[in-house]
Structure 1
């Protein structure tokens, strides 16, 4: 394609700059041409027809004088610096017309192709005035994005010719994971888990750190009555305990090939990152130390342990742009790395594909060594297709074969899980929409039981 043809295609594709005929002009010219053809049948010379056609086009160009010049029109974009994946955000386009001439316009913002937007936008703007257009954009893919251009087409009230202008306006946007679940946990973890239908196991009686002395109420454990304060205040008082703070949690996020499997919304890595942020928020709010490690065939990101809610922002900014690696995950290598960097007893929470992990025999040796010092838990997303095949009715031979194969895969997985769980390695599978709630509930349960 030559340079001139690329420039022409750019104009036609709502890009570049220049002038273009409108549909109104093309229809008018078509009608005028038909009239000229009829006139040629009654004796009008072809020379006169060509002259009149040229005169028609020349007169139509006067329309350009009734629309603002390109220097008199400007557009600026107002967009958040940070957007959450899959959520709708309002974006503003602020227009200014400093001329005295009115105009009708169409506009397309130069958003990335992955963004879901309702372009083109249309409207009218009077002379010597300003206007604001607002549209909603959804970013389904995490990462860093650069917005550089805004494409504008406008015309006069006659609407014969359309001017085209490209406005350069640079903006940088970060698309981070969906933090809806994280915000719910920070508001009220107990209510969030109850809403998700997760049963919360009560804290073991008399375990944890002493919190305060309060009035005894019906249902409290009589063994925790503080008799000294009861005698002093002449009313029954009881001791209240809370889970110990300052424990360590290491979150491992698998970025290997199998984590790219598509789900109803996003893929396994997307859901794992969102669940990891949710359980990290719960742990940090509880006063625990949290470290995060993302890996595939090697370590991509390692965030040392720290506590406090400010650490959640550190974690978010380090892992928001993680991508699926085409290579297989090297579990043995990353577990060896964890053994070298995490010296204190901690909960190792691995987000990965359980089916793939069960066939990694080399990881068992390192896990057995880690188990002496740390607690290990792995959580993954169950294969909905296999579960659906297991529940189907065998109406014919084909469905019966598919059902039996799915059942066989499930039996093999259960047998392998039992082998690992005998070593004290907990493995849990759940539905994609329950991943974050399941991770948080297991964390709270372990803290309440004082397992760390």
Structure 2
């Protein structure tokens, strides 16, 4: 295809500058051609046919003078610098038309393919005015994206010809993990975890530092009732104690092949990222030091430990773009690296696939060595398909075989988990929708028991 043909093809694909005939003009020519075809049957000269076509064509070009020049239009795009994965966001395009002509338009924005694309957007813009065009989009994948061009077509009210212009509006947008659960915890920890009362894990009596006096709720230790405040306020009040602050939490994120397994709404890595950020927010809010290490066959990201809520943004910017690798995770290498960089006693919170981890005998050697200094805890996502297979009714031979194999896999997993737990290495699995809640609950439980 020659350069000229490529340019013409791009013009028809909404990707270039130029002038294009509209459907209205084509319909006029179809009607005119039919009429002239009938007339030529009555001995009308072909010279007249040619002349009439040229006159109609030249007259139609006059329609271009009733629409603004391309240089008269100006465009501005407004969008957020950061978008959370899977959540809808509004984008605004402001079009200024200082000319004396109104026009109708169609536009296509150069959003990446992983974004939802509600195009083309249609409308009209009055003369001597500025109009804000809004549309919603949702990003399906994390990462950093560039949005450069805006493709804009407009026509006069007669609508015989359509002008097309391509505007350069370079902008960058970061798609970060969905922080809905993190925000829910930060806004109202009690609603997120039932933080007070009998449903929270109990703290060892007499351990920790005094935090506050609050209303007594069912399940509180009666020995902690503050009788002086109870008599003064005529309500049962109790003392609340918190674990000592300033502990070290190390979050390990597995980015290996098995973390790319698709779930109901995302893959395992997406859910692990969301849960890890929620745990980090909870720990930083409590005054603990948090570090994050993402890995697969090699170390991808390491964020050194720090405290304060500002550190959450540091963690987010470091790990928002980590992807699943098409390789098996090297647990031994990451644990060896961790032994060098994390000298202080720390809670090692690993988000990974339990089944894959259980097959890593080499990791057990390093974990036994780390156990003397650190506390290890692993959280995985429960395999709903496997659970469903084990509970299926064996209505025929095939279903019975599938159920037996699923039960065999569950037995293997349970047996291997018991072996690791005897070594002091705890691991649990949680449903994907409760992963963040379970992870934060386990963190709080460990802190309440002062295991660090």
What TM-score, normalized to structure 2? 0.94
Partners in 2 of 1:41 and 1:193 — Cα distance?
86
Question: Could you tell me how far 1:45 is from its partner in structure 2?
Answer: 1.6
Kindly indicate whether the alpha-carbon contact (under 8 Å) linking 1:348 and 1:375 is maintained by their aligned counterparts in 2.
yes
Q: Summarize deviations over 1:270-289 as a string: whole Å, max 9, x none.
A: 11111100000000001111
Partners in 1 of 2:199 and 2:397 — Cα distance?
41
Kindly indicate whether the alpha-carbon contact (under 8 Å) linking 1:104 and 1:155 is maintained by their aligned counterparts in 2.
yes
- Is 1:56 the counterpart of 2:53? The answer is no
From the superposition, tell whether residues 209 and 254 of structure 1 become closer, same or farther in structure 2 (CA, over 3 Å). same
- Is 1:339 the counterpart of 2:335? The answer is no
**In the alignment, what sits opposite 1:365?**
365
How many residues are aligned here? Answer: 449
Q: Summarize deviations over 1:286-311 as a string: whole Å, max 9, x none.
A: 11111100111111111111111011
Question: Could you tell me how far 1:392 is from its partner in structure 2?
Answer: 2.2
- Is 1:437 the counterpart of 2:442? The answer is no
**In the alignment, what sits opposite 2:45?**
45
Q: Summarize deviations over 1:124-174 as a string: whole Å, max 9, x none.
A: 111111101110110111110111110000000000000000011111101
Question: Could you tell me how far 1:225 is from its partner in structure 2?
Answer: 6.9
Q: Summarize deviations over 1:348-389 as a string: whole Å, max 9, x none.
A: 000011111110110000111111111111111111221222
- Is 1:79 the counterpart of 2:79? The answer is yes
Partners in 2 of 1:223 and 1:191 — Cα distance?
26
**In the alignment, what sits opposite 2:296?**
296
Q: Which one is further off, 205-214 or 364-373?
A: 205-214
Residue correspondence of structure 1 range 268-417 to structure 2 within 5 A: 268-417=268-417
Question: Could you tell me how far 1:101 is from its partner in structure 2?
Answer: 0.9
> Helix, strand or coil: the match of 1:332?
helix
Residue correspondence of structure 1 range 41-190 to structure 2 within 5 A: 41-190=41-190
- Is 1:419 the counterpart of 2:405? The answer is no
> Helix, strand or coil: the match of 1:118?
coil
Q: Summarize deviations over 1:219-245 as a string: whole Å, max 9, x none.
A: 764545789999xxxx99975421211
Q: Summarize deviations over 1:390-409 as a string: whole Å, max 9, x none.
A: 22222222222222221111
Kindly indicate whether the alpha-carbon contact (under 8 Å) linking 1:206 and 1:224 is maintained by their aligned counterparts in 2.
no
Q: Which one is further off, 159-168 or 38-47?
A: 38-47
**In the alignment, what sits opposite 1:7?**
7
From the superposition, tell whether residues 213 and 260 of structure 1 become closer, same or farther in structure 2 (CA, over 3 Å). closer
**In the alignment, what sits opposite 1:267?**
267
- Structure 1, gaps ≥5 residues long: none
Q: Which one is further off, 240-249 or 371-380?
A: 240-249
Kindly indicate whether the alpha-carbon contact (under 8 Å) linking 1:184 and 1:192 is maintained by their aligned counterparts in 2.
yes
- Structure 2, gaps ≥5 residues long: none
